[in-house]
Structure 1
Amino acid sequence: FIEVMTNNGIAPERVYYYAQFLRNDSGRQFLMVNNLDMNEDPPAVEGAPAGADAHTLMGLYMEHMIPELLKRACHPVLMGPAVYSAIDVTGIEDGQDWTDAAVFRYRSRRSFMEIISNPAILGPHDFKLAALDKTIAYPMETDLYLGDPRLLLGLILLALTALIDNWMISRNQAQRARSK
Structure 2
Amino acid sequence: MWWPFAGALVAYLLFRLWYDGWRGPLTAAEIDEGLAAIAARGGSAGTDTGQFRQFLEADDGREFVMLNLVKVTPGLVPHPISGEPVEGRAMLDHYTRHFIRRLVARGGHPAIVARKVGPYVDAWGDVPADPGWSIVGFMRYRSRRDLLALAADPSFGPVHAYKSLGTRETFSFPTQPMMKLFVGPRLWVALLLALLAALASLGLK
TM-score normalised to structure 2 length: 0.69
| Cα 1:128/1:61, change in 2 over 3 Å | same
- The structural deviation recorded for 1:40 is 1.0
Matches within 5 A, 1:129-144: 129-144=164-179
Cα displacement (A) at 1:159: 7.0
Aligned-partner residue type, residue 97 of structure 2: E
Matching residue of 2:155: 120
Computing the radius of gyration over CA atoms, which structure comes out larger, 1 or 2?
A: 1
Q: 1:151 aligns with which of 183, 187, 194?
A: 187
SS in structure 1 of the partner of residue 170 of structure 2: strand
Give me the CA root mean square deviation.
2.8
Is residue 97 of structure 2 the alignment partner of residue 63 of structure 1? yes
Whether the 8 Å CA contact 1:42–1:130 is kept in 2: the answer is no
**What is the SS of the residue equivalent to 2:156?**
helix
User: Against the structure 1 CA distance between its residues 147 and 57, is the aligned structure 2 distance closer, same or farther, given a 3 Å change threshold?
Assistant: farther
Give the deviation of 1:30 after TM superposition: 0.8
Structure 1 residue ranges (4+ consecutive) displaced by more than 3 angstroms after TM superposition: 157-161
Provide the residue aligned with 1:20 in structure 2.
54
What secondary structure does 1:103 align onto?
Answer: strand
Aligned length: 165
- Structure 1 residue corresponding to 2:195, chosen from 156, 160, 167: 160
5+ residue gaps, structure 1: 169-180
Query: Shift of the alpha carbon at 1:75?
Result: 0.9
CA distance in 2, matches of 1:29, 1:86: 30
Distance 2:58 2:109 in 1: 22
- Which among 33, 37, 62 is matched to residue 4 of structure 1? 37
Name the CA distance, whole Å, in 1 between partners of 2:169 and 2:129: 9
Flag structure 2 segments of 5+ consecutive residues without an equivalent.
1-33
**Could you tell me how far apart the structure 2 residues matched to 1:160 and 1:63 are?**
31
Indicate if the aligned counterparts of 2:72 and 2:92 stay in contact, CA closer than 8 A: no
Amino acid at match of 2:184: D
Contact 2:73 2:165 in 1 (8 A): yes
Q: Percent identity?
A: 23
1:62 offset after TM fit, Å?
Answer: 1.5
Residue 84 of structure 2 is aligned to residue 50 of structure 1: yes
Match of 1:85 in 2: 119
